[in-house]
Amino acid sequence: MSDAHNERHGYAVRYLADLVGGDIVGNDDVHVTGINRIEFAGPGDCTFLSNPSYAKFLSVTQAGVIIVSRALLTNELPSGRTYIITDDAYRGFVLVMQKFFPPLRMEAGLRHTSATIHPSAVVDSTASIGPGCVISEGCVVGPRAQLFANVVLYPGCHVGSDTVIHANVTLGAGTHVGQRCLIHPGAVLGADGFGFFENPDGSFEKIPQVGTVEIGDDVEIGANVAIDRAAVGTTRIGNGVKLDNLVHIAHNVDVGDNTAMAAQTGISGSARIGKRNRFGGQVGMVGHVATADDVIVEAQSGVSKAITAAGAYLGSPAKEHRTALRLEAALRQIPRLLQDVRDLQRQIDEMNKTSS
Protein backbone atom coordinates (compact mmCIF):
# COMPACT_ATOMS: atom_id res chain seq x y z
CA MET A 1 0.00 0.00 0.00
CA SER A 2 1.80 3.12 -1.18
CA ASP A 3 1.45 6.25 0.92
CA ALA A 4 0.93 8.61 -2.03
CA HIS A 5 -0.14 11.46 0.22
CA ASN A 6 0.75 12.66 3.69
CA GLU A 7 -0.72 14.39 6.71
CA ARG A 8 -0.14 17.81 5.14
CA HIS A 9 -1.99 17.17 1.87
CA GLY A 10 -4.46 14.53 3.02
CA TYR A 11 -5.32 11.04 1.84
CA ALA A 12 -7.58 9.43 -0.75
CA VAL A 13 -10.48 7.48 0.71
CA ARG A 14 -9.24 4.35 -1.08
CA TYR A 15 -5.96 4.62 0.83
CA LEU A 16 -7.76 5.04 4.16
CA ALA A 17 -10.06 2.10 3.43
CA ASP A 18 -7.03 -0.11 2.81
CA LEU A 19 -5.43 1.23 5.97
CA VAL A 20 -8.36 0.25 8.20
CA GLY A 21 -9.29 -2.91 6.28
CA GLY A 22 -12.71 -1.57 5.31
CA ASP A 23 -15.07 -1.45 2.34
CA ILE A 24 -16.09 1.80 0.65
CA VAL A 25 -19.77 2.60 0.19
CA GLY A 26 -20.37 5.69 -1.95
CA ASN A 27 -17.93 7.90 -3.83
CA ASP A 28 -14.46 6.34 -3.84
CA ASP A 29 -12.79 9.47 -5.23
CA VAL A 30 -13.18 11.55 -2.05
CA HIS A 31 -10.02 13.19 -0.70
CA VAL A 32 -9.70 13.58 3.08
CA THR A 33 -7.74 16.51 4.52
CA GLY A 34 -8.58 16.31 8.23
CA ILE A 35 -10.39 14.52 11.03
CA ASN A 36 -13.08 15.59 13.48
CA ARG A 37 -15.96 14.43 15.66
CA ILE A 38 -19.11 13.51 13.79
CA GLU A 39 -21.00 16.56 15.12
CA PHE A 40 -18.39 19.05 13.90
CA ALA A 41 -16.83 17.40 10.85
CA GLY A 42 -16.72 19.33 7.58
CA PRO A 43 -16.66 18.21 3.92
CA GLY A 44 -12.92 17.43 3.96
CA ASP A 45 -12.98 15.56 7.26
CA CYS A 46 -13.05 11.91 8.18
CA THR A 47 -15.08 10.91 11.23
CA PHE A 48 -16.43 7.68 12.71
CA LEU A 49 -19.51 6.01 14.16
CA SER A 50 -19.06 3.19 16.68
CA ASN A 51 -21.65 4.17 19.31
CA PRO A 52 -25.32 3.81 18.29
CA SER A 53 -26.26 6.86 20.38
CA TYR A 54 -24.43 8.99 17.79
CA ALA A 55 -26.31 7.51 14.81
CA LYS A 56 -28.65 10.52 14.91
CA PHE A 57 -25.81 12.61 13.47
CA LEU A 58 -25.52 10.51 10.30
CA SER A 59 -28.24 12.45 8.53
CA VAL A 60 -26.85 15.89 9.43
CA THR A 61 -23.06 15.52 9.55
CA GLN A 62 -21.08 17.33 6.86
CA ALA A 63 -18.21 14.82 7.04
CA GLY A 64 -16.62 13.80 3.75
CA VAL A 65 -16.00 10.24 4.96
CA ILE A 66 -17.58 8.32 7.86
CA ILE A 67 -16.01 5.13 9.20
CA VAL A 68 -18.88 2.94 10.45
CA SER A 69 -18.75 -0.25 12.51
CA ARG A 70 -20.25 -3.17 10.63
CA ALA A 71 -22.40 -4.09 13.63
CA LEU A 72 -24.32 -0.80 13.27
CA LEU A 73 -25.57 -1.55 9.76
CA THR A 74 -29.05 -2.48 10.94
CA ASN A 75 -30.65 0.44 9.10
CA GLU A 76 -30.00 1.83 5.64
CA LEU A 77 -27.25 4.44 5.61
CA PRO A 78 -28.26 7.96 4.47
CA SER A 79 -27.46 8.42 0.79
CA GLY A 80 -25.14 11.01 -0.67
CA ARG A 81 -22.25 10.26 1.68
CA THR A 82 -19.09 8.18 1.57
CA TYR A 83 -18.63 5.45 4.14
CA ILE A 84 -15.86 3.04 5.11
CA ILE A 85 -17.44 -0.07 6.64
CA THR A 86 -15.14 -1.95 9.01
CA ASP A 87 -15.38 -4.28 11.98
CA ASP A 88 -14.28 -1.66 14.54
CA ALA A 89 -14.81 1.96 13.49
CA TYR A 90 -13.13 3.41 16.55
CA ARG A 91 -9.97 1.40 16.04
CA GLY A 92 -10.03 2.34 12.36
CA PHE A 93 -10.38 6.02 13.22
CA VAL A 94 -7.39 5.77 15.54
CA LEU A 95 -5.33 4.42 12.63
CA VAL A 96 -6.41 7.41 10.54
CA MET A 97 -5.53 9.77 13.42
CA GLN A 98 -2.05 8.29 13.55
CA LYS A 99 -1.60 9.03 9.85
CA PHE A 100 -2.65 12.65 10.18
CA PHE A 101 -0.80 13.25 13.44
CA PRO A 102 2.35 11.15 13.61
CA PRO A 103 4.32 11.36 16.88
CA LEU A 104 6.65 14.31 17.32
CA ARG A 105 10.21 13.22 16.63
CA MET A 106 13.61 14.89 16.55
CA GLU A 107 16.21 14.20 13.90
CA ALA A 108 17.80 10.79 14.45
CA GLY A 109 21.20 11.08 16.12
CA LEU A 110 20.73 14.71 17.17
CA ARG A 111 23.14 15.99 19.84
CA HIS A 112 22.10 19.52 20.72
CA THR A 113 25.06 21.72 21.51
CA SER A 114 23.57 22.73 24.88
CA ALA A 115 23.21 19.13 26.06
CA THR A 116 25.69 17.79 28.61
CA ILE A 117 26.73 14.15 28.18
CA HIS A 118 29.21 12.59 30.60
CA PRO A 119 32.16 10.89 28.86
CA SER A 120 31.29 7.56 30.49
CA ALA A 121 27.69 7.60 29.27
CA VAL A 122 26.81 5.29 26.37
CA VAL A 123 24.40 6.97 23.97
CA ASP A 124 23.45 5.07 20.84
CA SER A 125 24.30 6.84 17.59
CA THR A 126 20.62 6.85 16.56
CA ALA A 127 19.36 8.33 19.84
CA SER A 128 18.38 12.02 19.83
CA ILE A 129 19.34 14.36 22.68
CA GLY A 130 17.56 17.72 22.81
CA PRO A 131 18.60 21.11 24.22
CA GLY A 132 19.53 21.37 27.86
CA CYS A 133 19.56 17.64 28.55
CA VAL A 134 21.94 16.25 31.18
CA ILE A 135 23.12 12.66 30.87
CA SER A 136 25.25 11.72 33.86
CA GLU A 137 28.00 9.19 34.33
CA GLY A 138 27.23 5.56 33.69
CA CYS A 139 23.98 6.20 31.84
CA VAL A 140 22.91 4.16 28.82
CA VAL A 141 20.54 5.51 26.15
CA GLY A 142 19.37 2.93 23.63
CA PRO A 143 18.77 2.99 19.87
CA ARG A 144 16.28 5.54 18.51
CA ALA A 145 15.49 6.89 21.98
CA GLN A 146 14.37 10.54 22.05
CA LEU A 147 15.14 12.87 24.97
CA PHE A 148 13.46 16.25 24.51
CA ALA A 149 14.51 19.52 26.13
CA ASN A 150 15.86 19.58 29.69
CA VAL A 151 15.56 15.87 30.44
CA VAL A 152 17.90 15.00 33.31
CA LEU A 153 19.31 11.52 33.85
CA TYR A 154 21.07 11.08 37.17
CA PRO A 155 23.98 8.60 37.31
CA GLY A 156 23.39 5.01 36.25
CA CYS A 157 20.09 5.45 34.40
CA HIS A 158 19.12 3.23 31.48
CA VAL A 159 16.71 4.28 28.73
CA GLY A 160 15.56 1.52 26.37
CA SER A 161 15.29 1.57 22.61
CA ASP A 162 12.53 3.63 20.94
CA THR A 163 11.55 5.27 24.23
CA VAL A 164 10.45 8.91 24.05
CA ILE A 165 10.97 11.19 27.07
CA HIS A 166 9.42 14.63 26.80
CA ALA A 167 10.61 17.92 28.25
CA ASN A 168 11.58 18.47 31.89
CA VAL A 169 11.46 14.83 32.95
CA THR A 170 13.89 13.71 35.66
CA LEU A 171 15.15 10.17 36.22
CA GLY A 172 16.76 9.64 39.60
CA ALA A 173 19.94 7.64 40.00
CA GLY A 174 19.75 4.06 38.79
CA THR A 175 16.30 4.34 37.20
CA HIS A 176 15.72 1.85 34.37
CA VAL A 177 13.14 2.56 31.64
CA GLY A 178 12.27 -0.17 29.16
CA GLN A 179 11.68 -0.17 25.43
CA ARG A 180 9.01 1.80 23.53
CA CYS A 181 7.94 3.81 26.55
CA LEU A 182 6.41 7.28 26.40
CA ILE A 183 6.99 9.67 29.30
CA HIS A 184 5.18 13.02 29.26
CA PRO A 185 6.52 16.38 30.48
CA GLY A 186 7.34 16.97 34.12
CA ALA A 187 7.32 13.38 35.32
CA VAL A 188 9.80 12.48 38.07
CA LEU A 189 10.93 8.87 38.32
CA GLY A 190 13.22 7.88 41.14
CA ALA A 191 12.90 10.72 43.65
CA ASP A 192 13.16 9.73 47.32
CA GLY A 193 10.21 7.93 48.84
CA PHE A 194 8.40 9.44 51.83
CA GLY A 195 10.32 7.63 54.54
CA PHE A 196 10.86 9.00 58.06
CA PHE A 197 10.78 7.75 61.61
CA GLU A 198 9.59 9.84 64.51
CA ASN A 199 11.98 10.70 67.33
CA PRO A 200 10.84 10.78 70.98
CA ASP A 201 10.63 14.58 70.83
CA GLY A 202 8.24 14.43 67.85
CA SER A 203 10.81 15.46 65.24
CA PHE A 204 11.48 13.37 62.15
CA GLU A 205 14.60 11.64 60.92
CA LYS A 206 14.95 10.71 57.26
CA ILE A 207 15.22 7.05 56.29
CA PRO A 208 17.68 6.73 53.38
CA GLN A 209 15.98 5.73 50.14
CA VAL A 210 18.63 3.66 48.39
CA GLY A 211 16.58 1.46 46.03
CA THR A 212 15.70 2.00 42.39
CA VAL A 213 12.79 2.33 39.94
CA GLU A 214 12.25 -0.15 37.12
CA ILE A 215 9.84 0.67 34.29
CA GLY A 216 8.85 -2.16 31.92
CA ASP A 217 8.34 -2.07 28.17
CA ASP A 218 5.50 -0.22 26.36
CA VAL A 219 4.66 1.90 29.41
CA GLU A 220 3.07 5.35 29.11
CA ILE A 221 3.54 7.79 31.99
CA GLY A 222 1.50 11.01 32.08
CA ALA A 223 2.52 14.57 32.85
CA ASN A 224 3.75 15.28 36.40
CA VAL A 225 3.57 11.67 37.52
CA ALA A 226 5.79 10.85 40.51
CA ILE A 227 7.19 7.34 40.95
CA ASP A 228 9.38 7.12 44.05
CA ARG A 229 12.51 5.03 44.35
CA ALA A 230 12.37 2.09 46.74
CA ALA A 231 13.72 2.43 50.25
CA VAL A 232 15.62 -0.76 49.44
CA GLY A 233 15.02 -3.01 46.45
CA THR A 234 12.86 -1.85 43.55
CA THR A 235 9.72 0.10 42.78
CA ARG A 236 8.44 -1.76 39.72
CA ILE A 237 6.04 -0.74 36.95
CA GLY A 238 5.15 -3.71 34.75
CA ASN A 239 4.98 -4.00 30.99
CA GLY A 240 2.18 -2.16 29.19
CA VAL A 241 1.14 -0.06 32.21
CA LYS A 242 -0.62 3.27 31.50
CA LEU A 243 -0.49 6.04 34.12
CA ASP A 244 -2.54 9.21 33.69
CA ASN A 245 -1.36 12.68 34.70
CA LEU A 246 -0.65 13.39 38.38
CA VAL A 247 -0.54 9.75 39.51
CA HIS A 248 1.70 9.06 42.52
CA ILE A 249 3.36 5.69 43.06
CA ALA A 250 5.16 5.44 46.40
CA HIS A 251 8.30 3.51 47.29
CA ASN A 252 8.48 -0.26 46.79
CA VAL A 253 5.12 -0.47 45.00
CA ASP A 254 4.73 -3.20 42.37
CA VAL A 255 2.27 -2.49 39.55
CA GLY A 256 1.29 -5.52 37.46
CA ASP A 257 1.42 -5.72 33.68
CA ASN A 258 -1.19 -3.89 31.58
CA THR A 259 -2.68 -2.01 34.52
CA ALA A 260 -4.15 1.48 33.93
CA MET A 261 -4.60 4.26 36.50
CA ALA A 262 -6.52 7.51 35.93
CA ALA A 263 -5.49 10.94 37.15
CA GLN A 264 -4.70 11.72 40.79
CA THR A 265 -4.57 8.09 41.88
CA GLY A 266 -2.24 7.58 44.84
CA ILE A 267 -0.69 4.24 45.79
CA SER A 268 1.01 4.01 49.19
CA GLY A 269 4.29 2.26 49.90
CA SER A 270 4.83 -1.46 49.34
CA ALA A 271 1.38 -2.03 47.82
CA ARG A 272 1.07 -4.77 45.20
CA ILE A 273 -1.22 -4.18 42.22
CA GLY A 274 -2.26 -7.19 40.14
CA LYS A 275 -2.18 -7.54 36.38
CA ARG A 276 -4.80 -5.80 34.23
CA ASN A 277 -6.15 -3.68 37.07
CA ARG A 278 -8.16 -0.55 36.23
CA PHE A 279 -8.17 2.33 38.75
CA GLY A 280 -10.48 5.31 38.21
CA GLY A 281 -9.54 8.88 39.02
CA GLN A 282 -8.57 9.81 42.60
CA VAL A 283 -8.41 6.24 43.86
CA GLY A 284 -6.36 5.91 47.03
CA MET A 285 -4.71 2.71 48.26
CA VAL A 286 -3.05 2.14 51.62
CA GLY A 287 0.37 0.59 51.88
CA HIS A 288 1.31 -3.07 52.29
CA VAL A 289 -1.90 -4.46 50.75
CA ALA A 290 -2.47 -6.17 47.41
CA THR A 291 -5.07 -6.53 44.67
CA ALA A 292 -5.77 -9.59 42.58
CA ASP A 293 -5.51 -9.65 38.80
CA ASP A 294 -8.39 -8.13 36.77
CA VAL A 295 -9.64 -5.79 39.50
CA ILE A 296 -11.54 -2.57 38.70
CA VAL A 297 -11.53 0.13 41.39
CA GLU A 298 -13.97 2.91 40.55
CA ALA A 299 -13.28 6.63 40.89
CA GLN A 300 -12.63 8.16 44.33
CA SER A 301 -12.64 4.76 46.03
CA GLY A 302 -10.32 3.94 48.91
CA VAL A 303 -8.63 0.54 49.08
CA SER A 304 -7.91 -0.10 52.76
CA LYS A 305 -7.43 -3.86 52.72
CA ALA A 306 -6.45 -6.57 50.27
CA ILE A 307 -8.75 -7.32 47.33
CA THR A 308 -8.41 -11.04 46.68
CA ALA A 309 -10.91 -11.62 43.87
CA ALA A 310 -11.32 -10.16 40.40
CA GLY A 311 -14.26 -7.80 39.90
CA ALA A 312 -15.40 -4.20 40.30
CA TYR A 313 -15.11 -2.35 43.63
CA LEU A 314 -16.53 0.97 44.75
CA GLY A 315 -16.57 3.26 47.79
CA SER A 316 -14.38 4.13 50.72
CA PRO A 317 -13.53 1.69 52.05
CA ALA A 318 -13.87 -0.10 48.71
CA LYS A 319 -16.54 -2.79 48.59
CA GLU A 320 -17.77 -5.16 45.92
CA HIS A 321 -19.66 -3.04 43.39
CA ARG A 322 -23.14 -4.47 43.93
CA THR A 323 -22.77 -4.41 47.70
CA ALA A 324 -21.67 -0.78 47.56
CA LEU A 325 -24.71 0.16 45.48
CA ARG A 326 -27.07 -1.60 47.90
CA LEU A 327 -25.48 0.23 50.84
CA GLU A 328 -25.80 3.55 49.00
CA ALA A 329 -29.48 2.85 48.32
CA ALA A 330 -30.02 1.99 51.99
CA LEU A 331 -28.29 5.18 53.14
CA ARG A 332 -30.64 7.26 51.01
CA GLN A 333 -33.58 5.80 52.92
CA ILE A 334 -32.23 6.81 56.34
CA PRO A 335 -33.86 10.31 56.42
CA ARG A 336 -37.28 8.78 55.71
CA LEU A 337 -36.74 6.03 58.25
CA LEU A 338 -35.70 8.58 60.88
CA GLN A 339 -38.85 10.56 60.19
CA ASP A 340 -40.91 7.37 60.53
CA VAL A 341 -39.26 6.69 63.90
CA ARG A 342 -40.02 10.23 65.08
CA ASP A 343 -43.66 9.86 63.98
CA LEU A 344 -43.95 6.55 65.81
CA GLN A 345 -42.37 8.07 68.92
CA ARG A 346 -44.92 10.91 68.87
CA GLN A 347 -47.76 8.40 68.54
CA ILE A 348 -46.41 6.38 71.46
CA ASP A 349 -46.06 9.54 73.57
CA GLU A 350 -49.67 10.53 72.78
CA MET A 351 -50.92 7.03 73.63
CA ASN A 352 -49.06 7.15 76.92
CA LYS A 353 -50.60 10.53 77.77
CA THR A 354 -54.10 9.27 76.94
CA SER A 355 -53.73 6.11 79.02
CA SER A 356 -52.49 8.08 81.99
Q: Which fold has domain 116-320?
A: UDP N-Acetylglucosamine Acyltransferase; domain 1 (2.160.10)
Q: Using one digit for the tens of pLDDT, what is the confidence trace for 221-266? A: 999 999 999 999 999 999 999 999 999 999 999 999 999 999 999 9
Do the Cβ atoms of 32 and 13 come closer than 8 Å?
yes
pLDDT for position 295 = 98
Q: What is the pLDDT of residues 126-150, one digit of tens each?
A: 999 999 999 999 999 999 999 999 9
Q: Which residues are catalytic?
A: 251
pLDDT at residue 3, rounded to an integer:
46
Q: Would you state the pLDDT for residue 2?
A: 39
Whether the domain at 11-100 and the domain at 116-320 fall into the same CATH topology: no
Neighbours of 72 (CB within 10 A): 17
* Separation of alpha carbons 240 and 84, rounded Å: 31
Burial class (CB in 10 A: 0-12, 13-18, 19+), 14: middle
Say what the pTM is: 0.88
**pLDDT tens, residue by residue, 176-186:** 999 999 999 99
Angle at CA 166, nearest 5°, toward 161 and 172?
75
Residue at 174: amino acid letter? G
Inter-residue contact 31 to 14 (CB < 8 Å): no
15-42 residue pLDDT tens: 999 999 999 999 999 999 999 999 999 9
CATH H-level superfamily of 11-100: MurE/MurF, N-terminal domain (3.40.1390.10)
317 prior amide bond cis, ω within 30: yes
Question: DSSP H helical segments within 134-278, as ranges?
Answer: none
Per-residue pLDDT for 7 more than 70?
no
CB neighbour list of residue 322: distance below 8 Å, 6 or more residues apart = none
Domain boundaries, the chain: 11-100, 116-320
Q: What percent of the chain has pLDDT over 90?
A: 85
Q: How many CA atoms lie within 13 A of 28 on its CB side?
A: 9
DSSP-assigned letters across all residues of 100-113: HSPPP-PPTT-B-T
Interval 103-114: pLDDT, tens: 999 999 999 999
What Å distances lie between residue 53 and 47, 58, 69, 224, 254, CA to CA?
Answer: 15, 11, 13, 35, 39
From CA 6, how far away is CA 11, in angstroms rounded?
7
- Which tens digits make up the pLDDT trace of 154-205? 999 999 999 999 999 999 999 999 999 999 999 999 999 999 999 999 999 9
